Chain A
Amino acid sequence: MDDEPIVRWYWIGDHLGYLGNLLADHAVIALLPVLIGLLLAVPLGLACARFPRLYQPLSAVFNIVYALPSLAVFVVLIPYTGLATQATVMIPLTFYALAVLLPTTVDGLHAVPDSVRQAATAMGYGPWHRLTTVELPAAVPYLIAGLRVAAVSSISLASVGALVGRGGLGYLFVDGFQRTFPTPIVAGIVLIAVLALAVDLLLVGARRLLAPWAVREKGAGS
């Protein structure tokens, strides 16, 4: 790579359409699992808040899943989902997203001050009714903080999927490395960073819109 420049601009110019396709592919592979994770985390989180005994075993399971190296999980799944299918990459990513989102959901539901919970009960809310109409809306800032972490790490993890055939922008790394040609690698890094930043900004905007009452950075980083 010694006399090869870091970026050859003409290559980027020639491959704009190709890069665009990879970016779209990457966004779907990385973010669809986060969305599915959210749709699973909310009911599971509500159940854990309602029946606290569920939480310990469930969070243990997801923690273990989270600890597994992503590449190993991809490889293990290949016999069932086939090489180069989106499912091979998206199934583990869904579990990773869930592993982040379940605790943040439960934390958010628990973060409602006790006085609020008691006031709701005293006004005649039943436990489920209270969870869905008081605690869940109040947990939105936590959910969004969790989504920011889950989305960014999913965008980063999805590139590993290129090693098993589907990885969106991750393919640029494999390609560049095999050809000792750094331009696609740089393009991939930049596009991943841009995607992560865009999604993060979108989520911050969503929080402003959905939880205008949470001025402080509630639950950020948790």
Chain B
Amino acid sequence: MITFEGAGKRHPDGTIAVEGLDLEVPTGRITVLVGPSGCGKTTLLRMVNRMVEPTSGRVLLDGTDVAQLEPAKLRRGIGYVIQQAGLFPHRKVIDNIATVPYLLGWDRKEARARAAELLELVGLAPETAKRYPFQLSGGQQQRVGVARALAADPPVLLMDEPFSAVDPVVRAGLQEELLRLQSELHKTVLFVTHDIEEAVRLGDQVVVLREHGRIAQLADPHTLLTTPADDGVAAFLGRDRGLRGLGLRPASAVALRPVGDGLRYGGWELALDDAGRPIGWIDRTAVSAELHPAAGFRPETDTLRTALDAVVLSPAGVAVALDGDGRATGTASRDAILAALTPTGATAVGGIDANADESSDTNVGTGPDANAGAKADAKTTVSTRKALAADGTGEAGTTDRVGGPEGSDGGR
């Protein structure tokens, strides 16, 4: 656990970067710091590994004041990932990843073996090992940066806008990868971003900061989106925070109408192929048998936001639920989805809980929630997260395929 106790930083020129901050960063969880530029996020992060020394208060790491620890030793136990990756240009990827093991005096072979393991863990092809950083795409460099930070298996990870320099598609892949890693590794992560979308997607808890590192709100993502502490936070969250919140809730909450109960909705009928995969909607009232695309969602892995999107896209106003092979398992009308959207609806809550319990056995390490009131919400987040991560393997693969040829053509 990282504890900030009245931590403050006043620069010699009189600038106050952070003032009297109290914050607990729980072990094994992702805590996201979000806030406008210049509000002191980087300063806070660097107080943990002593790249910035607080001018007031203190920072504790598992109860020990970091000021009492030798900086080099402290830092080798804390992974640090930054926006520009900061890879050593003159070292091959494998040696970049092995940097901290080398510093810790590991045997060269051992360090490289560990680096190769990490390369795979962050989803990079083994042949990447022998490349130099300039031969990688931005997204691949960021993955190497994450691998390097994890090389000596530090319990704490500091990440300063690690994904802001890559394009949105790559960023989404990296975020999913991070969640997948975290579900295996359970690091204590302090993550800085100024993208609220990223904050609610990644955070177990989100800290909204305003100038001088003052906490405007500390909450789990769902609470943050549904009940912002004040107008300032609400404005920061943006107008579509309600819709964003749907992205945190699993689509399994939607009550489905089984395929066997019929595929007709008014004048529209869903056509399936022999394997049971949807081909499209047919307008029975029209003369032609033209097919209209059928939008679908996967209740096991998608969020309510995707389900709602599918309903909006469908000409019949009906979303098709699909299984892993793309076969229709049922349909959900606009009403069914709206019912699931209502957070207080008994059906919705029941649906969420059933799903969370089903899948919780594969997710032991996340531990119990401190706050009983937030329990249902937290569970929702966890199961959605897992679902996203599972889905993400596919997307991450795509990202790599995009990155691969770009990287292999060398001398850009």
Which residue numbers of A lie inside 8 Å of B, CB to CB? 112-113, 115-126, 134, 137-138, 140, 211-215
Contact = CB atoms under 8 A, between A and B. Distances in A.
A148 to B, nearest CB: 19
A211 B82 CA distance: 25
Contacts of B148: 119, 123
Interface residues of B, number: 29
Chain B binding surface SS class? mixed
B51 A119 contact: no
Contact of B82 (A119, A138, A212, A215): A119
A61 B61 CA distance: 49
A115 B80 CA distance: 11
Interface of B: 49, 51, 71-76, 78, 80, 82-90, 99-100, 103, 132-134, 145, 148, 158, 411
Nearest to B45: A122
Contact of B75 (A116, A124, A134): A124
Contacts of A125: 72, 103
B88 A134 contact: yes
B134 A124 contact: no
A116 B148 CA distance: 13
A124 B103 contact: yes
A115 B84 contact: yes
Contacts of B99: 123
A120 B148 CA distance: 11
A107 to B, nearest CB: 15
Contacts of A119: 80, 82, 85-88, 145, 148
Nearest to A211: B90
A104 to B, nearest CB: 17
Nearest to A212: B132
B305 to A, nearest CB: 34
Contacts of B76: 123-124
Contacts of A211: 90
Given A138-B89, A213-B89, A213-B90, A122 B75 contact: yes
A119 B145 CA distance: 9
A140 B73 CA distance: 29
B86 A138 contact: no
A193 to B, nearest CB: 31
10 contacts: A115-B82, A119-B80, A119-B145, A120-B88, A123-B148, A134-B88, A212-B132, A213-B132, A213-B133, A213-B134
A140 B145 CA distance: 23
Given A124-B103, A215-B134, A116 B72 contact: no
